[in-house]
Amino acid sequence: MADDTADLEGDELVVHLLQQTAVRASVTLKSLGMTQTDKTASRDIVDAKRSIAGASVVKVSRLPGADEHHRAICAAQARGRQALLDRSMPFGDDKGWRLLPNRHLTAVMQEFGQAKKDHEEAHERFLDDVINVLAKAQANLGDFDVELPTEEEIRNAYTMKIEFHEIPNGRYSGLDEALTKRLQAHTQSRVAAAFAQGQAEVLPRILEPVAAFVERMQAYTERERKLLNGESVDKGKSGQFRNAVVENLKPVAAALRDCNLIGNPRLESLAARVAALAQTDPGLLRSDPGTREKSRSEAQAVLDSIKDWSG
């Protein structure tokens, strides 16, 4: 641990370490509203069914059969969002904001940059083709009563951006010392709680391959027991497992370390234990009941260790 952490503890230490290892990141997307309520058609259905007003609402596409460009833009937006989601973790209830490890910052910026380039090119193609698109949509609309988007609306409808911010530490200037300390303590408490909540949310998902490993080892052992006792077993794949059950453990250790933004020795220990499990020979798991049970027990212990995780 660095020397400048020697006098820090609790929430203050957590915030300090997060500031050294991560940033807050957010992707903001905006796109064309593609549906509109046809009030006339809605009333017609209500009248035809003798229902009360508002019982049925008819939503109609504003670009029926002519949304290819829109879908291409949205696909690029989705790739940009996914670039952040794949390498970050939740940050409490701070909607839209995520914790991004500094080591992944360059990769996210590169992938997001390519997605934004695709987004802008798809948007340009939409604008170049807008007259044909609107004409096609109008022809496909039939008797529905909704407004098609205008060229100006389409021009201004799509945005895609990513933002990065430092982890807040609650330090304010121009305030008296007592108030500054209270505000700083409040901010640091919220940041530490958000980080802990994010970890608790993401860890079970990261460890899903470990849970699958436990289930497959149990099923294989049960299958072997039945065969030993002369009981019938499913002639299919029930109770068996592919090598991928072990191979899928390999990315888990790296993902756990991505979550370990403050150097938590407990989390590092879990990562090391999963990494060791990932080195187990699948053939040995099938042939040696002792190895299989030892590995299953170790994997279950890893899962048990994150129950009620609080860091």
Model pLDDT, residue 2: 46
> What's the predicted TM-score (pTM) here?
0.83
Tokens 């090391």 -> residue: 272
Model pLDDT, residue 306: 85
How many percent of the chain have pLDDT more than 90?
Answer: 73
DSSP state for residue 231 in the 8-state scheme: -
Model pLDDT, residue 1: 42
- Residues with pLDDT less than 70, the chain: 1-8, 235-239, 308, 310-311
> CA 300, CA 200: separation in Å to the nearest integer?
18
Q: Which residues pair with 162 in a beta bridge?
A: 27
Instruction: Give the tens place of pLDDT for each residue, 139-179.
Output: 999 999 999 999 999 999 999 999 999 998 877 777 788 88
Model pLDDT, residue 6: 55
> CA 288, CA 240: separation in Å to the nearest integer?
14
Q: Spell out the residues 6+ positions from residue 202 whose beta carbon is closer than 8 angstroms to its own.
A: 89, 90, 259
Cβ-contact 158, 123 below 8 angstroms = yes
Model pLDDT, residue 292: 95
Which two structure tokens, joined as six digits, stand for 86?
Answer: 């794949």
> CA 104, CA 87: separation in Å to the nearest integer?
7
Angle at 29 between CA 59 and CA 102, to 5 degrees: 150
